[in-house]
Amino acid sequence: MKIIIAGAGEVGFHLAKLLSYESQEITLIDTKKDSLGYAGNHLDIRTIKGDATSIEVLRDARIETAGLFIAVTSSETTNITACVLAKQLGARRTIARISNTEFIEHKETVGFSKIGIDELISPESLAASEIELLLNQYGFNDTYEFEGGALTMLGLRISRTATFVDKTVKQAAELYSELHFIPIAIQRLGTQYTIIPRGDTIFKEGDKVVFMTSEGGDEELFELSGKVK
C-alpha cells in the first residue's frame, strides 16, 4: 500500500520506520532538509521537501494513489488542513495528529469525517493512558488490554508470598471460585519452556504466569500475588 506521511519528526520517523519494515511504499514529507536527509539515509523510503498543505507538493507525492495519508507534524492546524486537502485530492483514508483532545471526545459531533479526516490521534493522550495503566498495574511484568479493558492479559512473577504457591490450578480454582482470572501460560524459573496450564499443573515460586482476567480480576490477582500496591 502507498502511504504518505507528513512530518519527519520523532513520530513521523518512527511511523515511517515501522511501516517501511512491513514493505509498504512510504513517502515522507517535511520542510526540514536535515530531518528528511536522516530519514532517507536510514530508511528505504521516498522523501519530499515541502509544505504538506501545498497542493503542488501533495500532487508531487502522488496523493491520488495513496491508500493512507498520515499527518503528524508538530502543528495541529497543519495536520488538519493537510488531511482535508489530501482527501479532496484522492487519498483513500487520512489520519491527523492533534493535541486538543476535545476534538477526539467530540469527533462525531463536529463531523471530522465529513470534511475528510477519518481518524484523529493524540500521542500525548495515548502516552498518558499508558502511564496510568502502568501505575495501576506496576506489579505485573506485562499488561495488554482487549476491548477497552473488558479483558486484560497480565504477566506475573510468582513470589513465595503468593497464596497459590504449591497449589495446582484445580485447587486454586476451588479455593478461589469467585475470582475472575485464569492462567493461560507458565514459564518455569530456570527454563525456556512454556507450559500450557492444566488442572494438575502446580504453581511454583518463581514461575512467570500469564493470566487472562475480566474486569476487576487484576485487583484480585494483585492481592493474591502477595504484592503491596
Phi-psi group of 166: left, alpha or beta (phi > 0 → left; psi -120 to 50 → alpha; rest → beta): left
Residue pLDDT, tens place only, 63-109:
999 999 999 999 999 999 999 999 999 999 999 999 888 787 777 77
Give how far Cα 180 sits from Cα of 9, 73, 213, 222, Å.
43, 43, 6, 12
Q: Edge-to-edge strands of the sheet including 142-146? A: 142-146, 151-157, 208-214, 181-187, 194-195
Residue pLDDT, tens place only, 130-166:
787 666 655 566 777 777 667 888 888 888 888 888 8
137-224: CATH class = alpha beta
Residue pLDDT, tens place only, 175-207:
776 777 788 899 888 887 888 999 899 988 888
pLDDT of residue 89: 96
Above pLDDT 70, what percent of the chain?
90
Fill in the DSSP letter of residue 151: E
> Whole-model pTM above 0.85?
no
- Exposure string over 194-220, b if 16+ CB within 10 A, otherwise e: eeebeeebebeeebbbbbbbeeebbee
Phi-psi group of 121: left, alpha or beta (phi > 0 → left; psi -120 to 50 → alpha; rest → beta): beta
E strands along 31-171, which residues?
Answer: 46-49, 68-71, 94-97, 119-121, 142-146, 151-157
CA distance 146 to 214: 10
The sign one gets for the Cα dihedral 226, 229, 180, 151 is negative
Q: Where are the domains of the chain?
A: 2-122, 137-224
CA distance 14 to 63: 21
**Strand-strand pairing, 142-146 and 151-157:** antiparallel
**Residue appearing with cell numbers 513470589:** 159
Above pLDDT 90, what percent of the chain?
45
Give how far Cα 131 sits from Cα of 84, 124, 173, 191, Å.
32, 11, 32, 31
Residue 49: band (very low, low, confident or very high) from pLDDT cuts 50, 70, 90? very high
**Strand-strand pairing, 151-157 and 119-121:** unpaired
Q: Which fold has domain 2-122?
A: Rossmann fold (3.40.50)
Which amino acid is residue 190, in one-letter code? G
